């Protein structure tokens, strides 16, 4: 028994081996409609046993065409799943079927996901498929860009005949084949997919990456700008072309041209969204298109700027730069070319990005875990960081100091063990720590710290965090909810509100 993909993906003919009995294949898919497409395609070819959790609603399940030979079996939700029980039940219900589709969702019970991806569940399923000569397809409905999802599937890669992720890219869907074992060979591909009809999908081939394919206009190349890249008082040159939304570049920019586009970065926009936009433009259009990222109402930290350059940006136009200077820089970077190696997968960039949720106050155990994660990330990239342990000065309490700490962005963390306060500053050099702390507190640190210790090595950060976990501390999450937000006007200033002295009455001297 075997299943093939050739007849569904036009342009993939004879590029992948057939899926055969005794194999386990894992597909991590971002979209439920794609889950249904893949499952129905397999159901066209053989008898399918569909396994799904009993708690899944009708809309969360896969709907097969009535003409297909399929049967549904439900998995009861348990506090703990046992290998022997699962194998016995699977053997009983799967006997008349050639292939089994395991449908798992990101919001499935944590105990079942833990059993499959953190314990021995996947290796158990692999061994069962080999012993019983069954095809086993695991469809995991989740976002492949999620750091925890990638970590979990990565640990199970060796148990799978193939590991695949399918997600929405720009402009097309992406199918990343991380590995597909074919005898003594390993197949790895990054495919772009375009949906033609409910039953047909086309593989879109990359642009011709040869100099002969380039259509360069030099000074005559059009310059596009997204409306949010300019403020209301700025008037773009008459030859510039406006785009209402960022994703309008799909229709505007030509592949293998030297067109230019200006994108704004503003408060409220996530770095991951901007990074993906830049990466997709570069990936789709080639090395000659110029991509300018303009800081609108806040500065991009140096670490994130480096990631943008790796993703394909031409230059980051600094906050505070006059618009006339912006125009001048664009006009003087004609004939620019992206000469770096673009990462093969967008996830390679995401792995280097500081998670958005890692900012502000965290209880001691979470602070320790997050600080270690950030320190390891910084070490991997050769980036500086600073961990501060400080004793409050007379008249201050740990809670009052934590309330005064106005974190700037991702990677600025704080906590307390009840006696001392701790701060982790990602991408902060030792020489910049005083300046950074002054900005974050709005006053000299000598006024609030009696004594302090600063740490800049992974070994000492690990030691400090281990001691912090052992010591524990109060949880001030509720107390700090309202003070965990900062309004940032520009790179070096924060809004501060201090009580003003009462007006002094003038007194006439006689």
CB neighbours of residue 3 within 10 Å: 20
Going by DSSP bridges, is the β-strand pair 99-105/48-53 parallel, antiparallel, or unpaired? parallel
**310: which residues sit within 8 A by CB, 6+ positions away?**
340, 342, 343, 349
Going by DSSP bridges, is the β-strand pair 185-197/200-204 parallel, antiparallel, or unpaired? antiparallel
pLDDT tier for residue 488 given thresholds of 50, 70 and 90: very low
- Check whether 339 has a pLDDT greater than 50: yes
- Check whether 505 has a pLDDT greater than 80: no
Residue closest to 310 by CA, chosen among 270, 273, 283: 283
At 491 the pLDDT is 41
Residue 218 C-beta-side C-alpha neighbours within 13 Å: 0
pLDDT tier for residue 509 given thresholds of 50, 70 and 90: very low
At 198 the pLDDT is 67
pLDDT tier for residue 199 given thresholds of 50, 70 and 90: low
pTM of the model: 0.56
At 492 the pLDDT is 40
Residue closest to 154 by CA, chosen among 184, 178, 124: 178
Question: CA 24, 28, 32, 36 torsion: positive or negative?
Answer: negative
- Check whether 316 has a pLDDT greater than 50: yes
- Check whether 502 has a pLDDT greater than 60: no
Residue with the two structure tokens 């600063």: 454
pLDDT in tens, 84-107: 778 888 888 888 898 999 999 888
- For helices 83-94 and 121-132, what crossing angle results, to 10°? 30
**183: which residues sit within 8 A by CB, 6+ positions away?**
17
> Of the CATH numbers 3.90.1170.50, 3.40.50.300, 3.40.50.920, 3.30.750.24, which one belongs to the domain with range 2-204?
3.40.50.300
Cα 174 from chain centroid? Answer: 15
Going by DSSP bridges, is the β-strand pair 488-490/412-416 parallel, antiparallel, or unpaired? unpaired
- Check whether 298 has a pLDDT greater than 50: yes
Contact at 8 Å (CB) between 134 and 98?
Answer: yes
**139: which residues sit within 8 A by CB, 6+ positions away?**
27, 29, 35, 38, 39, 62, 101, 102, 103, 104
Q: Name which residue leads in pLDDT, 31 or 480.
A: 31
- Check whether 487 has a pLDDT greater than 70: no
pLDDT in tens, 453-472: 999 989 899 999 999 999 88
Question: CA 110, 115, 121, 125 torsion: positive or negative?
Answer: negative
Beta bridge partners of 262: 225, 292
**133: which residues sit within 8 A by CB, 6+ positions away?**
1, 21, 22
CB neighbours of residue 19 within 10 Å: 22
- Check whether 495 has a pLDDT greater than 50: no
At 447 the pLDDT is 84
At 489 the pLDDT is 42
- Report the pLDDT averaged over residues 475-492: 59
Q: Name which residue leads in pLDDT, 274 or 9.
A: 274
Mean pLDDT, the chain, integer: 83
CA distance 281 to 252: 11
At 171 the pLDDT is 67
Residue with the two structure tokens 């991590």: 28
pLDDT in tens, 25-44: 999 998 898 999 889 989 98
Torsion of CA 337, 341, 345, 346, to 10 degrees: -50
- Report the pLDDT averaged over residues 252-272: 87
At 241 the pLDDT is 92
How big is the chain by its Cα radius of gyration, in Å? 28
CB neighbours of residue 187 within 10 Å: 14
Per-domain residue ranges of the chain: 2-204, 212-350, 360-494
Domain 212-350 = CATH 1.10.486.10: no
Question: CA 137, 143, 144, 147 torsion: positive or negative?
Answer: negative
- Check whether 389 has a pLDDT greater than 90: yes
Q: Name which residue leads in pLDDT, 302 or 28.
A: 28
- Check whether 205 has a pLDDT greater than 70: no
41 sits in which H/E element: helix 32-43
Q: In what order do the strands lie in the sheet with 223-226?
A: 241-243, 223-226, 260-265, 290-295, 315-317
At 193 the pLDDT is 86
- Check whether 187 has a pLDDT greater than 80: yes
CA distance 64 to 46: 13
At 189 the pLDDT is 84
Phi-psi region of 133 (alpha: psi -120 to 50; beta: other; left: phi over 0): left
Q: In this structure, what are the phi and psi dihedrals at residue 479, rounded to the nearest 5 degrees? A: -65, -30
CB neighbours of residue 422 within 10 Å: 26
Question: Do the domains 2-204 and 212-350 sit in the same CATH topology, yes or no?
Answer: yes
Cα 322 from chain centroid? Answer: 32
- Check whether 320 has a pLDDT greater than 80: yes
226 sits in which H/E element: strand 223-226
Q: Where are the beta strands (DSSP E) in 91-132?
A: 99-105
- Check whether 162 has a pLDDT greater than 60: yes
Contact at 8 Å (CB) between 61 and 106?
Answer: no
């Amino acid at each position: 028994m075997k299943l093939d993909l050739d007849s569904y993906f036009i342009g993939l003919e004879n590029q992948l081996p057939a899926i055969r009995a005794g194999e386990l294949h894992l597909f991590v898919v971002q979209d439920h409609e794609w889950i249904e497409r893949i499952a129905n395609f397999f159901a066209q070819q053989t008898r399918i046993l569909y396994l799904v959790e009993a708690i899944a609603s009708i809309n969360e399940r896969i709907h097969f065409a009535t003409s297909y030979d399929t049967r549904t079996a439900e998995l009861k939700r348990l506090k703990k799943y046992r290998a022997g029980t699962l194998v016995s039940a699977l053997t009983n219900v799967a006997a008349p079927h050639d292939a089994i589709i395991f449908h798992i969702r990101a919001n499935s019970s944590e105990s079942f996901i833990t059993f499959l991806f953190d314990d021995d569940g996947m290796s158990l399923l692999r061994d069962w498929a080999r012993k019983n000569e069954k095809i086993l397809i695991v469809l995991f409905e989740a976002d492949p860009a999620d750091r925890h999802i990638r970590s979990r599937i990565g640990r199970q890669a060796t148990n799978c005949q193939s590991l695949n992720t399918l997600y929405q890219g720009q402009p097309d869907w992406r199918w990343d084949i991380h590995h597909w074992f074919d005898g003594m060979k390993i197949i790895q591909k990054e495919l772009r997919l375009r949906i033609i009809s409910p039953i047909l999908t086309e593989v879109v081939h990359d642009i011709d990456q040869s100099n002969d394919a380039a259509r360069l206009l030099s000074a005559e190349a059009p310059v596009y700008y997204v409306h949010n890249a300019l403020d209301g008082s700025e008037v773009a040159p008459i030859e510039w072309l406006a785009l209402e939304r960022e994703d309008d570049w799909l229709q505007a920019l030509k592949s293998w041209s030297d067109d230019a586009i200006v994108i704004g970065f503003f408060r409220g926009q996530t770095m991951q969204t901007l990074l993906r936009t830049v990466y997709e433009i570069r990936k789709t259009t080639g090395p000659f298109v110029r991509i300018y990222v303009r800081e609108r109402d806040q500065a991009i930290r140096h670490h994130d700027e480096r990631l943008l350059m790796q993703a394909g940006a031409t230059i980051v136009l600094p906050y505070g730069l006059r618009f006339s200077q912006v125009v001048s820089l664009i006009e003087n970077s004609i004939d620019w070319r992206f000469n770096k190696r673009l990462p093969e997968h967008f996830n390679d960039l995401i792995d280097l990005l500081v998670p958005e949720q890692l900012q502000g106050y965290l209880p001691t155990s979470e602070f320790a875990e997050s600080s270690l994660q950030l320190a390891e990330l910084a070490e991997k990239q050769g980036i500086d960081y600073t961990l501060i342990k400080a004793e409050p000065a007379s008249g201050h309490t740990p809670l009052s100091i934590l309330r005064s700490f106005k974190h700037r962005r991702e990677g600025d963390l704080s906590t307390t063990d009840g006696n001392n306060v701790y701060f982790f500053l990602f991408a902060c050099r030792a020489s910049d720590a005083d300046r950074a702390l002054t900005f974050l507190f709005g006053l000299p640190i000598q006024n609030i710290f009696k004594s302090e210790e600063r740490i800049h090595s992974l070994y000492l950060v690990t030691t400090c965090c281990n001691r912090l976990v052992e010591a524990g501390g109060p949880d001030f999450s509720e107390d700090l909810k309202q003070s965990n937000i900062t309004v940032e006007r520009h790179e070096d200033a924060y809004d501060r509100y201090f009580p003003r002295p009462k007006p002094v009455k003038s007194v006439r001297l006689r």
